[in-house]
Amino acid sequence: MDGNGRWAQARGLPRTDGHTEGEENLARLVRIAVRADVGWLTVFGFSTENWIRPRPEVRHILGLHERLFGRVAELNELNVRIQWMGRPFDTPDARTPKYVQRAIRKAIRDTAANTGMVLTVAFDYGSRAEILHAARQARVGGQALTVASLGAHLYVPELPPVDVVVRTSGERRVSNFMLWQSQGAAISFTAKPWPEFDAEGLHTALSLVRG
């Protein structure tokens, strides 16, 4: 979800305002995706590299994610099940604060019975860290390192292969996001920053895989 800060700066606003608008736009996009019959929507909320951002900006983003995971009533209304992927809370390198952990656990528990779209939020997530974690877990279990064994130990192994990756804000590069799962995925590029990504952008991305 690139471009929140640039969206704000282009309007003479603090970068934190861009992140706030980006969180609101995610709520809008979830509704749009549900109407478009999307089965799985995975968003890159906060990466393992994002911790180096200025502390006030990080604190603001953390607060937004706590609020995001607290939007249970909206998710239940839409029959959306929420889940999270990132560095496991009990690993030495995990950095998700306790209050965000509590919000994540509660959201997962309170939407567990929903049978519609699955919304996965990647928080404190990096694909390289995920693949390394999968390899370590396979080794601990005495398994040979194969495609099957690594896939079984990804953070959320039940996630299906990615059909299409959306890159907003004019970014034309591969990020550290779901590198394993997105093999062969189509990539939809848009110049719109994330706060402006809308139904048109989503349908353009879906047209790459739905025809």
| Residue positions annotated with a catalytic role | 2, 50
Q: What is the DSSP string of 4-18?
A: HHHHHHTTT--HHHH
Cα separation values, 101 from 9, 49, 91, Å: 30, 19, 13
Return averaged pLDDT per consecutive 10 residues of the chain, 211 residues in all. 94 96 96 98 95 93 92 96 97 94 96 98 97 96 96 97 96 92 96 97 96 72
Give the pLDDT of residue 193. Answer: 96
Give the pLDDT of residue 174. Answer: 87
Give the pLDDT of residue 170. Answer: 93
Q: What gap in Å lies between CA 9 and CA 162, rounded to an integer?
A: 32
What is the pTM assigned to this prediction? 0.95
Give the pLDDT of residue 101. Answer: 95
Give the pLDDT of residue 63. Answer: 94
